[in-house]
Structure 1
Amino acid sequence: MKNIGFLDACRNAIGTAHVLTDDTDKAAYLTDQRQRYTGQALAIVKPADTAEVAAIVKLCNTFHIPIVPQGGNTGLVLGSVPDQSGQAIVLSLKRLNRIRAVDALNHTITVEAGCILQHAQEAAAAEQRLLPLSLAAEGSCTIGGNLSTNAGGTAVLRYGNTRELCLGLEVVTAQGDILHGLRGLRKDNTGYDLRDLFIGAEGTLGIITAAVLKIFPRPQVQLTALAAVQTPADALRLLSLAQQRCGATLTGFELMSDLCLQLVAKHFPQLPFPFPERHPQYVLMELSDSELAPHASTLLEAVIGEALEQGVCQDAVLATSTAQSRALWQLRESISSAQAKEGKNIKHDVSLPISRIAEFIAVTDALLQQHFPGCRNVTFGHLGDGNLHYNVSPPLGVGEEQFIARQAEINRVVHDSVDSMGGSISAEHGLGALKREEILRYKSPVEMALMRTIKQALDPLNLMNPGKVI
């Protein structure tokens, strides 16, 4: 009876068409992006604006109904899908998809949480501005999800994570009040930083409904190079050289192992491999410059030339057109899809001090071979900011399910190694439900106590994305 009254109230608040209770209608919102977990929900509720979000949250408070906020549902840690109790609603923000304003002079864009990242990028580009947040899922992920997980992407080296790109937030609190914080200010020292509490909180403290993000003058030129190196240590030497010679023009610096590109070649044979022979590791570099092309081209050629002379890299390909640059980036962006086509794997999204990445890869590769002989490490990521996607695939000939059954053991080896080197077990994907218990091994009791205090203060009924993060 309680649920019937709640659903009727939701229908009155936002319209019957936007409260989905049929199993067929709900299905698309209940399974995670990797198709490994399906939860259950009382309903899928799709408000159209911030006022309707607030109305739904107030109803959830009245009826004590848990809320799972969801944007594009592209997350990898079960943060945006409900559990299997069927007691929660999924609050879809897809209808909050508007670009509210682009202020070219203030270099800001105000967007709603359900706006797809690519659409926000295009709105900035229409004003000759750059929204630098860029990741493989940008055609389907949403701004709210990017903020809720503090997404990283390929340009963090120069522009920072989503947190660094956000100036202000509009948030519906756990009580259904609206925090009006859409201020496009670089300086606002008027008390506690409420904005940063909600960024990276994965919807456990409140629901982000809109944001003011930084945008930048569009670069006059973007140049890309793919360099072949022997070891991750050589890749780090190349990074240091590029930073010294190129400064702020160095926008992206991605590491890919040879196995990564072997999988891409296997599953996407239409993508040409740029070198006549294979190498152990590859680095994808991008420079963006406000000056004309010859300036950036001179910088990039000088870095590659010096690296070749010093033996830091063995070969390199410099893109001479936009099409060639896109082709090089497509190799990088196809790794996850190629690994998915290859079969199930155990993913790790970790961060480390940049100076220890080579050591981490060498030590952890050896530990995994010792405990799980023949396993294949698909290692790639944002070397410039210390973020590795350190994925482990089954040995050839070993069944997927047999290998996945040992996921907890593999996670322990990897995560303990990360922790021993001062790293984090979640760089940009968040904790969700997948790493909620795992983090207890690595966060100090003081940190966990403070996080619980904040959660209790802001969401005393524990209705906001329960079972996630904490």
Structure 2
Amino acid sequence: MLNAADAGFLTQLEAQLPSDTLRPAEPRHLSEPRGRYPGIGTAVALPRNTAEVSTILTACQAARVGVVPIGGGTGLVSGQVMTSGPMPLLLSLERMSTIRAIYPTENVIVAEAGAILADVQAAAEGAGRLFPLALASEGTARIGGLLGTNAGGLNVLRYGTARDLCLGVEAVLADGSILNGLRRLRKNNTGYDLRHLLIGSEGTLGIITAASLKLFPRPAHHATGLFTVSDPQAALDLLQIAQARAPGMVDAFELIAGEGLRFLRATMPDVRLPVADAEWMVLIELGLPPDLDPEAALEAIFTDGADAALVWDGLIAQSGAQRQTFWTMRESIPEANRRIGAVASHDVALPISAIPAFIEGAKILLHPFDIRINCFGHLGDGNLHFNLFPAEGRTRQDYAADAAEMTVLVHDLVAEHEGSFSAEHGVGRLKVPDLERYADPVALNTMRGIKRQMDPEGILNPGAVLRNAAVGGG
């Protein structure tokens, strides 16, 4: 069993660290964006360097005290808040936010785990390069948390997830030992690649303290279009046309449902809607070299789509301001969803060709429940946000008895299509039962074995990803 981070433990730990490293926990350390899962913890450790992180974990393992790592606090699966059990020590790397180095000729940036994503993007831009990880919370999300959850975002289609953008990591393991893996190599076949074990582990196998990240040349032009399509299959067919017309240059390809527009109109009237009404749209963005005309590139895609009866209307951004209008609409949909109030939310991934059948099948399964569905997401990489909302005139409470059943129906259908119940938000604590229901048994047992080996006392983010009892921890 784990022990609480009580006054005696905190006094002993405080004596090993510089003054002001331990502080009383604040409300921001004990909450998550949806406000559904209040965390526990009386103290937060704010180390200034990797050596101090090592001191903290060494003490916690010796005392069998749980450690809950906190990044930017933007996660949606309760990975950053522990809601019950012995009082843990909270660990925030917000003071470790230095950009350690930039190597423009190598297309590499080395950033500490507490660096905010927007600051890493700005540092890359200052060096004439692009760090392509992009998501709505980039002004708050931190590199450590993004790697810990293998964040996705808008540009996965072209550049991959956080995992694909990482060349090496520095991390502190449960016993306080420091893994010095900040290599900048594109090829390195010297045994097991431990960075990939830590990336996506949500702080349960080690605490990432810094990372070497890939940079890219900045596209000379962006071409952004909002096209109205007949249905998700038409959107999928249009994606094939876009990739054929602009191979390797499609940055983003977003599917937007008409329900999203209606939610925006009802809850966020200040958000400009470029399209008055449509049941399905795609937001396309290309990143182009200097010798290609952005408007011509999108016009060619639109023409091919129209000739194939896939597209019946469209807008092409004529300025940076218009481009921002398109993206503001797309990035405001999650906030509109929050204001409406979801009955159940699902972050799923599917084989791209299975998406139209999944959407139609899910609508049929959910029809008896009398709900509204807002389905949107990153069609280009197979990630859908499939969220369920009360019918007009009804409330979330009306569906309390059915919400769990609806989620099982959605996730079972995802599994039938060989998809994933968690595309980009991770498992956290919220989705531990889903992992146990849908994971391959051999894979799940292997994960438990890795956890036991790397964190034998179960101190790292207890209860996240794997149940404590299942891994031998408290």
Give TM-score, length-normalised by structure 1: 0.96
Q: Secondary structure in 2 aligned to 1:248?
A: coil
Q: Aligned Cα RMSD in Å?
A: 1.4
Q: Where does residue 297 of structure 1 map in the other structure?
A: 295
How big is each residue's C-alpha offset from its partner over 1:345-388, in whole Å with a ceiling of 9 and x where there is no partner? 42100000000000000000110113x12x11111100000000
Q: Are the counterparts in 2 of residues 267 and 341 from structure 1 also a CA contact under 8 Å?
A: yes
Please give the residue correspondences for 1:275-290 in structure 2 after superposition, counting only pairs within 5 Å: 275=275, 277-290=276-289
Whole-angstrom distance in 2 between the partners of 1:405 and 1:13: 51
Please give the residue correspondences for 1:398-409 in structure 2 after superposition, counting only pairs within 5 Å: 398-409=394-405
How big is each residue's C-alpha offset from its partner over 1:284-337, in whole Å with a ceiling of 9 and x where there is no partner? 000001224x53332211011121222101100000111100100001000000
Please give the residue correspondences for 1:54-453 in structure 2 after superposition, counting only pairs within 5 Å: 54-275=54-275, 277-292=276-291, 294-370=292-368, 372-373=369-370, 375-453=371-449
Q: Secondary structure in 2 aligned to 1:171?
A: strand
Q: Where does residue 466 of structure 1 map in the other structure?
A: 462
Partner amino acid for 1:425? F
How big is each residue's C-alpha offset from its partner over 1:14-33, in whole Å with a ceiling of 9 and x where there is no partner? 34433223xxx432211111
Q: 1:11 aligns with which of 4, 14, 34?
A: 14
Q: Are the counterparts in 1 of residues 37 and 83 from structure 2 also a CA contact under 8 Å?
A: no
Give how far 1:85 is off.
2.9
Whole-angstrom distance in 2 between the partners of 1:14 and 1:223: 51
Partner amino acid for 1:280? E
Whole-angstrom distance in 1 between the partners of 2:17 and 2:73: 22
> Structure 1's 18 and 404: CA in aligned 2 closer, same or farther, altered over 3 A?
farther
Q: Are the counterparts in 2 of residues 81 and 90 from structure 1 also a CA contact under 8 Å?
A: no
How big is each residue's C-alpha offset from its partner over 1:225-279, in whole Å with a ceiling of 9 and x where there is no partner? 000011001100110111111111111000010001111122222233223x522
Q: Secondary structure in 2 aligned to 1:357?
A: helix
Q: Are the counterparts in 1 of residues 6 and 87 from structure 2 also a CA contact under 8 Å?
A: no
Q: Are the counterparts in 1 of residues 101 and 109 from structure 2 also a CA contact under 8 Å?
A: yes
Q: Are the counterparts in 2 of residues 259 and 378 from structure 1 also a CA contact under 8 Å?
A: yes
Q: Secondary structure in 2 aligned to 1:334?
A: helix
Whole-angstrom distance in 1 between the partners of 2:401 and 2:117: 35
Whole-angstrom distance in 2 between the partners of 1:146 and 1:111: 12
Whole-angstrom distance in 2 between the partners of 1:452 and 1:393: 36
> Structure 1's 2 and 147: CA in aligned 2 closer, same or farther, altered over 3 A?
closer
How many equivalent residue pairs? 463
Q: Secondary structure in 2 aligned to 1:247?
A: coil
Q: Where does residue 471 of structure 2 map in the other structure?
A: none
Q: Secondary structure in 2 aligned to 1:33?
A: coil
Give how far 1:2 is off.
7.6
Whole-angstrom distance in 2 between the partners of 1:109 and 1:289: 23
Give how far 1:134 is off.
0.2
Give how far 1:166 is off.
0.3
Q: Are the counterparts in 1 of residues 5 and 89 from structure 2 also a CA contact under 8 Å?
A: no
Q: Are the counterparts in 1 of residues 5 and 87 from structure 2 also a CA contact under 8 Å?
A: no
Give how far 1:404 is off.
4.0
Q: Secondary structure in 1 aligned to 2:36?
A: coil
Q: Are the counterparts in 2 of residues 42 and 86 from structure 1 also a CA contact under 8 Å?
A: no
> Structure 1's 2 and 201: CA in aligned 2 closer, same or farther, altered over 3 A?
closer
Whole-angstrom distance in 1 between the partners of 2:277 and 2:342: 25
Give TM-score, length-normalised by structure 2: 0.95
Whole-angstrom distance in 1 between the partners of 2:137 and 2:195: 24
Q: Are the counterparts in 1 of residues 252 and 285 from structure 2 also a CA contact under 8 Å?
A: yes
Give how far 1:78 is off.
0.2
Give how far 1:37 is off.
1.0
Give how far 1:86 is off.
4.8
